[in-house]
Amino acid sequence: MMTGVEGYMYPNEITLYWSVLIVLYPYITGLVAGAFILASLERVFRVDAVKPTYRLALLTALAFLVVAPLPLQLHLGHPERSYEMYFTPHRTSAMAMFGFVYLWYLMAVLTVEIWLDYRRDIVVMSQSSTGLKRWIYRVLTLGSSNISERALAIDERVGWLITLVGIPSAFLLHGYVGFIFGSIKANPWWSSPLMPVVFIFSAMVSGIAAVMLLYMLIMRLRREKIDMLCVDTIARYLFYMFIIDFSLEMLDLIHRIYEADESFRTLNFMVHTKLYFSQIVLQIFVGTLTPILLLALTQVLKFPEIVRKRMYSVAGCLTLIGIFAMRWNVVIGGQLFSKSFLGYTTYKMALATREGLLMSIALTLLPLFILWVLVKLLPPWPERVQGAFPAETPTQ
Amino acid sequence: MSVFKDSGHLFRLAALYAAGTLTFLGIRGLFVPHSFGQYGHYRGAAITEIAAHPVHFAGHQTCETCHTDVQQIKKSGMHAQVNCEACHGPLAKHADDPASAQPAKLDTAVLCVRCHAASAARPKNFPQVAAVDHSNGVPCETCHQPHSPAIGTGGVK
């Protein structure tokens, strides 16, 4: 008997090849898509209450998007070969084509939108700052310091258009991650046309929760007052998204239970044993039902501000844990059972290896560090920047 | 024309992206081998390069031109379908010049268990033994003739 293996496993199923890094990949990508959707609420859907988080959401999306391919690079090894995916793209490989979806989202959507939104500030800061920062801002102006009213109006209009294109692109980005799993017909745990949709909504949930938490945390660190109207509105949207996400996941579950195909007994057994803690306890009860209940309470009862803040913080943290557990259950759960439906294996996470726990923690913290640099470089707080503006903004 | 003047920065951005795309295409032209895609999603010239590699395996037909005695023993036994070089290793050099390269003497205590060690993953009707209990380190060829291994065909070479 092999340790951690029960029943009959094919030899190539005993070791899990997709490690915790592959759990991080959809988790991080989901945060990107979710943060962008939150930003689009203000820009396209004119939800003015969430305006204080607009720029922060965009920068959060960028910080996480830059890190999103790193788990894959570390998992696959040979990052020096990754450019080949672009040079000689294999059009029948869903994973290979994701490179283009990623590139489109990074270069055509997020970077352009951030640049257009910050252009006025960049031009002003290129004139008011000194040293290395001045050079960075000068490069970012692309040599144009035209921030006339008309130029800014054009930026606004183009930015709106980019956000409009960005919404389906954000759906595409994360829906695509779901598609990669959902289209693996050999694995009954993954193979479901609902997978891309579930991934999109869970992405929105995690991204909105992450930006809400970051906003509250940064405001606290800056010793500034939290805009409660903004946080209340975000929490309301988080609640709506969570309801849709949970309904879809339950729909998937009920469908599987009713359909009860040949894999059902095996998967059912797995959920009640190996995945019991991560799926039933962590994902469903702690990470979904508890935050939904907390958010629902804030919608129907009137709590004082301080209580609401705490409830949102707890709900946000639990949401992030729950969505991580969901990614874990999809990626790791899909590899724990045998294709023979007669056996189960165990995932033992390494600690200090290329795909171990420490690397995962580092990859989770890295976007926060990048976000810190981005916030320093491109402050998302317009009032502060305006305070530093010269009396008359130069026009060309 | 002020629309063009006020959207000049957008043209600069477009020019930057166009320059980036052209640089990408230029580097791609340099890095991607010319024969890529000639036959499929791989480098076409790889076929001739691989074909030019020295041949290591002679093939059982070549072995049988000289070793007719072994062929006779083998063809009636359970190993009739096992190719010579599956056990003896690649021997094209030996086939080209038998005097210059002699095949190494095989240790049957190690060799046979590669296929015949008991394993749940093997078909039930495939002959398999727990080597320690079965022979306790005694070489298999003591009882089994490797070219026709059924007991009774003699434990010779």
CA distance A55 to A61: 10
Residues 115-144 of B with CB under 8 A from A: 120-121
Residue A30: inside a domain, yes or no? yes
Chain B contact present for A256, CB below 8 A: no
Asked whether the beta carbons of residue A107 and residue B17 sit closer than 8 angstroms, the reply is: yes
Residues in chain A within 8 Å Cβ distance of B37: 88
pLDDT of res. A95: 85
Asked whether the beta carbons of residue A146 and residue B5 sit closer than 8 angstroms, the reply is: yes
Residue B156 — pLDDT band, cuts 50, 70, 90?
Answer: very low
Residue A12: inside a domain, yes or no? no
Q: Indicate the residue of A11, A142, A154 with minimum beta-carbon distance to B16.
A: A142
Tens digits of per-residue pLDDT, A377-387?
999 986 554 44
Tell me: pLDDT of A390 over 80.
Answer: no
The percentage of chain B sitting over the pLDDT mark of 70, rounded to a whole number, equals 95
CA distance A248 to A242: 10
Is the separation of the CB atoms in A326 and A253 below 8 Å? Answer: no
Asked whether the beta carbons of residue B12 and residue A119 sit closer than 8 angstroms, the reply is: no
pLDDT of res. A57: 96
Asked whether the beta carbons of residue B10 and residue A90 sit closer than 8 angstroms, the reply is: no
pLDDT of res. B28: 95
Tens digits of per-residue pLDDT, B70-89?
999 999 899 999 999 999 99
The residue of chain B nearest to residue A150, with distances taken between CA atoms, is B6
Tell me: pLDDT of B66 over 50.
Answer: yes
Residue A290's contacts (CB-CB under 8 Å, 6 or more residues apart) are: A315, A318
Question: How many domains does the structure of chain A reveal?
Answer: 1
Tens digits of per-residue pLDDT, B97-111?
998 888 888 998 889
Residue A1: inside a domain, yes or no? no
Query: Got the DSSP string for B64-122?
Result: HHH-HHHHHHHHTSTTTTS-HHHHH---HHHHH-TTT-PPPPP-HHHHTHHHHB--TTS
Tell me: pLDDT of A395 over 50.
Answer: no
Domain of A210 in residue numbering reads as 17-382
Residue A319's contacts (CB-CB under 8 Å, 6 or more residues apart) are: A205, A206, A209, A238, A242, A287, A291
Is the separation of the CB atoms in A264 and A317 below 8 Å? Answer: no
Which ipTM did the prediction report?
A: 0.87
Tens digits of per-residue pLDDT, A138-151?
999 999 999 999 99
Tracing tokens 């306890």 back to the chain, one arrives at A281
Interface test with A, best of B3, B5, B10 (most A CBs within 10 A): B10
CA distance B110 to B87: 11
Chain B contact present for A111, CB below 8 A: no
